[in-house]
Structure 1
Amino acid sequence: MKINLLELKDGSKKELELKVEEKIEALSYFGDEIPLVAPSVFKGRIYNANGDLYIEGSVESTGAFNCYRCLNKFHQKIIGEVHEKLVEENSSDAEMDDYFMIKNNQINISEIIENALISTLPMKIVCNEDCKGLCSVCGKNLNEGKCNCEKNEIDPRLAKLKDLLQ
């Protein structure tokens, strides 16, 4: 979705309040596709400060995840913050990846929303901080109960140290 910034740039408005609801199908995150099960909502403002345009606000959506430890599917709310400077595509700052581009007096709010949601995701997404994961021998979900596997295996890298004890 494109937002027209002409009124802010020419000075007829100092601030533009926004509430945008955008339907984003999925986020690309470290090679995975994370489906979003709810529309992404941005609430915030774009304002002119001494000739520079800035955008600030919050983004909220709900993602469908697979737990990194136990592989169960779960839904979790994602909330991100946006505090960014906007630059013209032909300015000297445009070559840097740190800014969002203004093209033809418009900004693509979808790109800002996606970026804010992705930046709040942890490296390893788990269903619960106390998730016990899967048994490395039989694959049973250890959150549902213990398994009967023997776990006296020694790491092959440390097997030579066992010989020192004998």
Structure 2
Amino acid sequence: MKVSLAEIVEGQLKEVDLEIEDKIRVLSYFGDEIPLVTPVVFKGKAYDANGDIYIKGIVESMAEYSCCRCLKKFQQKIIGEVHEKLIKEHSPKAEVDEYFLIKNNMIDISEIMENTLILSLPMKIICDENCKGLCLVCGKNLNEQACDCEKDEIDPRLAKLKDLLQ
């Protein structure tokens, strides 16, 4: 979604409030597809600080995850903070990939919102901090019921150490 920043670029205003809703459907995260169940909302502002243009605000949405331990589907809100420097199209720094470009006084805010949400995701997505996961032997969800499987596994490289205890 493109947003006009013409008033700031041309020096008419120092600050513009932004409230944008975008329908990003899916986030790609380490090869997984995370569906977003609500539209992505950005609330913030674009402002000029000594000739440099910045965008600052909060991005949020509701996503549907699959727990890394028990594989259960659950929904949880994602919230991320945006604080990005924007570069004009013909600036000497425009060739650097670290900045978002203002082209024809417009900025594509969808990319900023998507990157912010991806960066705010945890490395391991779990449904609950106390999630017990799945049984390694029978595959039952240990959060729902216990299993009677024998879990006396020993790494074959350490098997000789077990003999010392007997």
Q: For residues 121 and 157 of structure 2, what CA distance do their matches in structure 1 show?
A: 34
Q: For residues 49 and 118 of structure 2, what CA distance do their matches in structure 1 show?
A: 27
Instruction: Give aligned pairs, total.
Output: 166
Letter aligned with residue 140 of structure 2? K
Percent of residue pairs identical: 68
Q: For residues 42 and 18 of structure 1, what CA distance do their matches in structure 2 show?
A: 7
Is the partner of 2:112 in helix, strand or coil? helix
Letter aligned with residue 31 of structure 1? G
- The Cα shift of 1:65 comes to 0.4
Is the partner of 2:33 in helix, strand or coil? strand
- In the alignment, structure 1 segments of 5+ residues that lack a partner are none
Is the partner of 1:58 in helix, strand or coil? strand
- The Cα shift of 1:146 comes to 1.2
Q: For residues 157 and 86 of structure 2, what CA distance do their matches in structure 1 show?
A: 52
Is the partner of 1:128 in helix, strand or coil? coil
User: What is residue 20 of structure 2 aligned with on the other side?
Assistant: 20
Letter aligned with residue 19 of structure 2? K
- In the alignment, structure 2 segments of 5+ residues that lack a partner are none
User: What is residue 139 of structure 1 aligned with on the other side?
Assistant: 139
Q: Which runs of 4+ in 1 moved over 3 A?
A: 163-166
TM-score (norm 1): 0.94
Is residue 105 from structure 1 mapped to residue 70 from structure 2 by the alignment? no
Aligned pairs for 1:36-51 within 5 A: 36-51=36-51
User: What is residue 89 of structure 2 aligned with on the other side?
Assistant: 89
